[in-house]
Amino acid sequence: MRVGRCACSFCRRHGARTLGDPAGSVEFRAASGALSRYRFGLGITDYLLCAKCGAYVGAVMADDGKAIGIVNVNSLDISDTFDPAPPLHHYDGEDEARRRARRRKFWMTATVIA
């Protein structure tokens, strides 16, 4: 399990601390229309936002016929159990192949039901 921070402007604006666990899984469950999806950068990832308040809850990416993802621990009721200042990672300059390879290593199986 790994908690980290991304240095991109989107993640910094949201104050995101994201959790990935390649041995685990995450299920994003919300009422129909309650999640918005946002894409930027390479356009390969859906960033999941609360449609009402805009809070960033997680991200998912299609990979080899399945979805993998991370969760923003700040959106959890137990967010205070995680490091308040995990390592900051800079991913500038990654091409799609390197980004997918990194995410396969650290992200977890994901399901979105919304």
* 71: exposed, middle or buried (Cβ count in 10 Å: 0-12, 13-18, 19+): buried
CA gap 82, 109 in Å, rounded: 21
How many domains are there within the chain? Answer: 1
Q: What integer pLDDT is reported at residue 87 of this predicted model?
A: 94
> Residue 90 sits in which domain range?
2-113
- The model carries a pTM of 0.94
pLDDT in tens, the chain (114 residues): 999 999 999 999 999 999 999 999 999 999 999 999 999 999 999 999 999 999 999 999 999 999 999 999 999 999 999 989 999 999 999 999 999 999 999 999 999 999
Give the CATH number, domain containing residue 90: 2.170.150.70
